Amino acid sequence: MADGSIGTPAIGASVRRREDYRFLTGQGTYTDDINRPGQVYAYILRSPHANARIGGIDTSAAASSPGVVAVFTGKDLEADGIGGLPCGWLINSKDGSPMAEPPHPVLVTDRVRHVGDHIAVVIAETLGQARDAAERIDIDYAVEPAVVDSVAALRPGAPLVWEQAPGNVCYDWHLGDSAAVETAIGKAARVVKLDLVNNRLVPNAMEPRAAIGEFNRATGEYTLYTTSQNPHVIRLLMGAFVLHIPEARLRVVAPDVGGGFGSKIYHYAEEAIVTWAAAKVRRPIKWTADRSESFMSDAHGRDHVTHVELALDADAKFLALKVSTLANMGAYLSTFSTCIPTYLYGTLLAGTYTTPAIYVETKAVFTNTVPVDAYRGAGRPEATFLLERIVDLAADELGIDPAELRRRNFIARDAFPYQTPVALQYDSGDYQTTLDMAMEAAGYAGFEARRREAAGRGKLRGIGIATYIEACGIAPSAVVGSLGARAGLFESAAVRVHPTGSVSILTGSHSHGQGHETTFAQLVSDHLGIPIDSIEIVHGDTAKIPYGMGTYGSRSLAVGGSAIIKAMDKVIAKGRKIAAHLLEAAEADIEFKDGEFTVAGTDRSKSLGEVALTAYVPHNFPHDELEPGLDETAFYDPKNFTFPSGAHIAEIEIDPDTGHLTVLNFTASDDFGRIVNPMIVAGQVHGGLAQGIGQALLEGCVYDTETGQLLTGSYNDYAMPRAADFPNFVLSTHVTLCTHNPLGVKGCGEAGAIGAPAAIANAIVDALKHLGVRHVEMPATPERLWRTIQEHQTRAAAD
């Protein structure tokens, strides 16, 4: 159905997004659009220093400033017994000891640990008054040396971020068979080695974070409106660990949310501050981040320093992979920070290959920087980047085409289910086909002619392949629980069939741009045979939806969608019983198809609407057997992760005079399992590619290594990708079904950001390898590329 407004579109139709009318006409309701009666405004006073001891905080002048309702500091929270922000995943070190888990206060009391750290909140009638008053807070800082990068933080004598973490080490984790890897390296025909950095990124959701706290004195109920990807998780964490409010008295609403990319998964201090303070001042309190605050308080992503070694035999078959990574945690442990460079990273290091022995060790390091947590891809881009870089480097060293080296080492399409040496069992995939598709679409075979043509114009042209595997649909609760997760990772759905046959779906997933209101409605329309306009998707409000885990890790369709299917099947099962009663037939003879319950082999049928009406007006109803109503809830706990995969190919050209790089062509061939809405999938891939190419070429969070100041604290200095930076993306999909969820879906939200950085980096090295270049760090800015060319030309001349 082209316009998506009517009918019962099948799974696989590019239904236009139902939510876009309100988004594109400015009629969405985002947190900052909500205003509550009597609302006042919060301004958070943040640290200008990266590391300083606080001798004292004098708020008296601020408290008496015009319009000020209250000023609170960490001492006020302490006095109320308010807890710290919890970390949701326990990682144990190699020796079995638990990670260092220092406190994460909502407002600090005696020390600031990064620029932007929370010190005090000023609540006033207007935001301007709150800001004015905040400037009158007098703080006695004793500034101390700061450390911002993970390598420096491990050096003897480095500033110590936490006394509880000697040497700034949070944990020293490992996975895999070290002895097998060392043995394989010892007998290898060749061992290829590389040091690389995965650059720190700032998420930059279009909508800055915001929160409104409200307390109803009459009922004792709290409400938090917040920019969250998972309102139930926020209610649990904030209610149970921070503010000690039982679920029944705490409602969390995440209305329309304008992008998250992971950064809105976590429980942030501001949410607790406005909720707690709303009860103190008996007024609703709104806080909205400005962009500068987003840069210094949203959890950042990536920031790995890695050494990798790949051992190959004489036939260029991979024998072993050895990886050693430093992961920068920042100054505090954000909600899921600890699992990203471990179980969402190390477990992905088999990639698409049959490497029989893998060993990975990750040392997580505290620094005086903003906390680092999941950002689109979360661990999997980091794994893919190092793996695809070392594979390309091996191809170059062995003189084998990168596509051929990959072909020799792919897991074959008939080898599934495939058990990797790093815990995961892949259920399905077809890596050679997606690579073949990408190579065909990218004109890989004709590239050398294009390289020569570019050389004739004085340009350096390169082509780069990256294949990837990701683990999505997180995750079997029992599995993640055994690995240290402090949460379950199922999803919930309620299917509420109304008396006349329209349907409300209450989902624990949360859409912050993904188009669930369309995709989920397609599932329901397809499964129940009712028009899409009769289907309402409800999400984001703990007062409405069953307990659910939210949206991240490309899990909404695979886990949330499966829960919807499961709940619909319960509705259909009950409907069959009701229809059997109405049609005076045996239940076993009732078939359900296209919205009709039919006695098999006859034209006698009852529509879903008729059955629903009977369920709610149960005059003629099998009361002995059934309860009235047609309203079913299901919880779906996945049996395994899903494993989207694919191949990306980038073709680039570098101007050696300036280092300026142009992306000429970008091809992505992906296997996302069954596709519900190809247009939405393409949009997800486009966005992911933009962020992945952005990481490769433009984006990089930079701190001053002396002062700990955030140097890329605005769009003047943090380079966001723009449409003009990209060619038209050439996309295709290949389907191998997920074998363990009812839809056969795998997830598509992160793929672009996972494959693209390595494809671009490989293309750059391909363009420069004749100069002896083995690697170029990200972001590959014009100066970095120019300098790399200069240095290698100088070296070549000297030789």
Least Cα distance to 693 among 658, 668, 656 occurs for: 668
Of the ranges 85-93, 585-593, 624-632, 711-719, which one interacts with another protein (CB under 8 A)?
711-719
Amino acid at site 617: V
Is residue 5 a contact residue for another protein (CB under 8 A)?
A: no
Is residue 717 a contact residue for another protein (CB under 8 A)?
A: yes
Find out whether the peptide bond into 779 is cis, omega within 30 degrees of 0: yes
Is residue 786 a contact residue for another protein (CB under 8 A)?
A: yes
Q: How crowded is residue 30: how many other Cβ atoms within 10 Å of its Cβ?
A: 18
Q: Is 115:710 a contact under the CB 8 Å cutoff?
A: yes
CA dist 770 and 790 (Å) reads: 13
Is residue 206 a contact residue for another protein (CB under 8 A)?
A: no
Q: How far is the CB of 716 from another protein (least distance, A)?
A: 4
Of the ranges 166-174, 307-315, 328-336, 718-726, which one interacts with another protein (CB under 8 A)?
718-726
Cα 441 from chain centroid (whole Å): 29
Is residue 711 a contact residue for another protein (CB under 8 A)?
A: yes
String marking each residue 690-709 x if it binds another protein according to CB under 8 A: -------xx---x-------
Q: Is 354:347 a contact under the CB 8 Å cutoff?
A: no
Q: Which of 712, 737, 742, 771 binds another protein (CB under 8 A)?
A: 712
Could you give the 3-state DSSP secondary structure of residue 566? helix
* Angstrom distances, CA of residue 359 to CA of 121, 447, 516, 703: 46, 36, 38, 31
* 165 vs 689 by CB, closer to another protein: 689
* 307 vs 660 by CB, closer to another protein: 660
How many helices (H) and strands (E) in the chain?
20, 28
Is residue 782 a contact residue for another protein (CB under 8 A)?
A: yes
* 98 vs 128 by CB, closer to another protein: 128
Could you give the 3-state DSSP secondary structure of residue 689? helix
| Residues from 130 through 169 that contact another protein (CB under 8 A) | 131-132
DSSP alpha helix (H) spans, 584-644:
608-616
Structure tokens at 112: 């600031």
* 116 vs 744 by CB, closer to another protein: 116
* 525 vs 781 by CB, closer to another protein: 781
| Residues from 385 through 444 that contact another protein (CB under 8 A) | none
Q: How far is the CB of 661 from another protein (least distance, A)?
A: 10
Q: What is the DSSP letter of 641?
A: -
* 80 vs 717 by CB, closer to another protein: 717
Q: How far is the CB of 26 from another protein (least distance, A)?
A: 17
* 240 vs 698 by CB, closer to another protein: 698
CA dist 447 and 497 (Å) reads: 57
For tokens 């099948």, the residue is: 10
* 416 vs 786 by CB, closer to another protein: 786
Strands 221-226 and 250-253: parallel
Q: Per DSSP, what are the bridge partners of residue 70?
A: 123
Q: Is 517:28 a contact under the CB 8 Å cutoff?
A: no
Of the ranges 301-309, 392-400, 463-471, 714-722, which one interacts with another protein (CB under 8 A)?
714-722
Long-range contact pairs involving 395-398 (C-beta distance under 8 Å, separation at least 24): 396/765, 396/769, 396/774, 397/190, 397/192, 398/190, 398/312, 398/316
String marking each residue 224-263 x if it binds another protein according to CB under 8 A: ----------------------------------------
| Residues from 36 through 65 that contact another protein (CB under 8 A) | none
Is residue 716 a contact residue for another protein (CB under 8 A)?
A: yes
* 281 vs 698 by CB, closer to another protein: 698
Q: Which of 419, 720, 772, 791 binds another protein (CB under 8 A)?
A: 720
Is residue 719 a contact residue for another protein (CB under 8 A)?
A: yes
Q: Per DSSP, what are the bridge partners of residue 142?
A: 53
| Residues from 311 through 340 that contact another protein (CB under 8 A) | none
Structure tokens at 627: 């309860």
* 97 vs 662 by CB, closer to another protein: 662
CA dist 509 and 561 (Å) reads: 9
Is residue 783 a contact residue for another protein (CB under 8 A)?
A: yes
Of the ranges 31-39, 267-275, 587-595, 715-723, which one interacts with another protein (CB under 8 A)?
715-723
CA dist 653 and 655 (Å) reads: 7
Cα 536 from chain centroid (whole Å): 26
* 164 vs 790 by CB, closer to another protein: 790
For tokens 């998420």, the residue is: 203
Q: Is 119:111 a contact under the CB 8 Å cutoff?
A: no
String marking each residue 638-677 x if it binds another protein according to CB under 8 A: -------------------xx-x-----------------
Is residue 715 a contact residue for another protein (CB under 8 A)?
A: yes
Q: Which of 225, 318, 410, 718 binds another protein (CB under 8 A)?
A: 718
Strands 535-538 and 503-507: parallel
Q: Which residues bind another protein (CB under 8 A)?
A: 128, 131-132, 292, 657-658, 660, 697-698, 702, 711-712, 715-720, 781-783, 786-787
